[in-house]
Structure 1
């Protein structure tokens, strides 16, 4: 007589599967389908911002003071679309790194099951971001060619803690700003829904990335930490500096040259970025990934 298949109990499962199992349980209870959750049918209401104005790259500058209310709203819509496009770029990199990481592992394990669940969520997020950016009236923004090619190399060679720590940086930075946007009634409702979905589901991804980074670094020597700290910092620099595409200013009807100059000198925006990364920097420091060479890149990106 054939015996029935019994799923391993928590005592039987490997210890490394514990976090993955909890995340799978969470995803089973709380997950979204953006195709039905987001209001794609209602036409864009241009009386709303696309993101909280305080997160705009020009907020607080003399140029911002000169803009009309309509211009400010259009700029935040273009910037929100640019951030979404950068998110798609990195989510594609993330999916390939995670797939490569679990390629040789037991597909029935909780770790691989979670990895595949995360990839499925990231696929839905990318589709959601693309549709959202299109509805905001923005083009398909792309990072600069050098950043795109660097991403191509990174997704191919990054592994272990370098891959998961870089994933964590990208997700943490987006998480903080989107938590503000999803609560802000000045932001167009469908974007608030998008942000809420992303924040809820990315909280699981961040937990897994932190857990994997810590586990992969366990017992790592000084040279390995030094190399990976620099790799993560360089990747983080290009992710963060690619969030606001320079073309957003011209597409919002602004003087691109002047807007770029004032955005680069905007201390308010730099302060917002630093404050959003305080928890992340504490984690990287505790993991001994804030080396002097790495710090130079984080400072250039205004993350510390």
Structure 2
């Protein structure tokens, strides 16, 4: 962390950090949700609704999308919503392990320590919420490809400092922009809108914490460390974003998988949506010195730049 976390440390920097963590804790006490109570899990799925805003579908804007029936379009967006949710669960499990490792054996009276545990509790609830949501959307367990799983295992074990928190920020910010659109869209099935609203509200605090921790860890970082960590974060971003839309969603929607994958990869509309969603994130990474020339390759491959 930026300073010692012992009670005797009364430096202005430590005080500012404690006050920031205190604010997050108070916000969590005032505005948090229990998904088991807030989400309508009992009403049967209404297939007249989409699972995401259609404009966020990987095939929206392609010739294949125009050929699909409205029923196929809605089924595809529901399966894509489930795929994004399953990827969210996978990364939230990585996130929880990194935070636990970071705060292992540190001062439990420190508000930052208590906030870290609060964030982990939030992520546990979110993962259960996403899991139940995917099941209600009648989706299978969409898992990342084996290589992504093993890279994630390596990342959660070795990533430290700004690399861990900046990667957390990347995953949360990309999902945040999408979900803000989905939660306001009346074409999206109501229970998914509620899920998105809960996640957006609670993740806003997580993103603030990740930004502050990233900046704090980089305060005394030299040029070489920034260069290395920038590549680590960019690589993690590429793996996360490329895992969000599992190609099996096309099969579940009754589509020609090979054609769907081919048209999705060439879909400039979807690439544009991703780039626009990451404008604020890229600005932050650039200001933190984590948007280097070497890292650009990964972000462009993930259509984030």
TM-score normalized with structure 1 length: 0.96
Alignment RMSD = 1.5
**What count of residue pairs does the alignment treat as equivalent?**
297
Q: Offset of 1:18 from its aligned partner?
A: 2.0
Distance 1:285 1:120 in 2: 31
Distance 1:195 1:160 in 2: 29
Name the counterpart of 1:114: 115
Name the counterpart of 1:6: none
1:238 is the counterpart of 2:239: yes
Distance 2:228 2:102 in 1: 19
Name the counterpart of 1:282: 283
Structure 1 residues 226 and 76, CA gap change in structure 2 (3 angstroms):
same
Distance 2:55 2:209 in 1: 30
Distance 1:18 1:288 in 2: 26
Distance 1:245 1:291 in 2: 29
SS in 1 for 2:140: coil
1:156-195 map, 5 Å: 156-195=157-196
Distance 1:295 1:19 in 2: 32
Q: Offset of 1:234 from its aligned partner?
A: 0.3
Q: Offset of 1:219 from its aligned partner?
A: 1.4
1:21 is the counterpart of 2:15: no
Q: Offset of 1:14 from its aligned partner?
A: 2.8
Distance 1:199 1:50 in 2: 16
1:132 is the counterpart of 2:137: no
SS in 1 for 2:108: coil
Q: Offset of 1:110 from its aligned partner?
A: 0.3
Name the counterpart of 1:225: 226
Distance 1:152 1:13 in 2: 32
SS in 2 for 1:259: helix
* CA displacement, residues 96-115 of structure 1 (integer Å, 9 cap, x when unaligned): 00010011210111000000
Name the counterpart of 1:71: 72
Distance 1:295 1:28 in 2: 39
Runs of 4 or more off by more than 6 Å in structure 1? none
1:283-302 map, 5 Å: 283-302=284-303
1:83 is the counterpart of 2:103: no
Q: Offset of 1:12 from its aligned partner?
A: 11
Name the counterpart of 1:143: 144
Specify every segment of 5 or more residues in structure 1 that has no aligned partner in the other structure, as ranges: 1-8
* CA displacement, residues 117-165 of structure 1 (integer Å, 9 cap, x when unaligned): 0000000000000000000000000000000000000000101000000
Q: Offset of 1:48 from its aligned partner?
A: 0.2
Specify every segment of 5 or more residues in structure 2 that has no aligned partner in the other structure, as ranges: 1-9
Name the counterpart of 2:204: 203
TM-score normalized with structure 2 length: 0.95
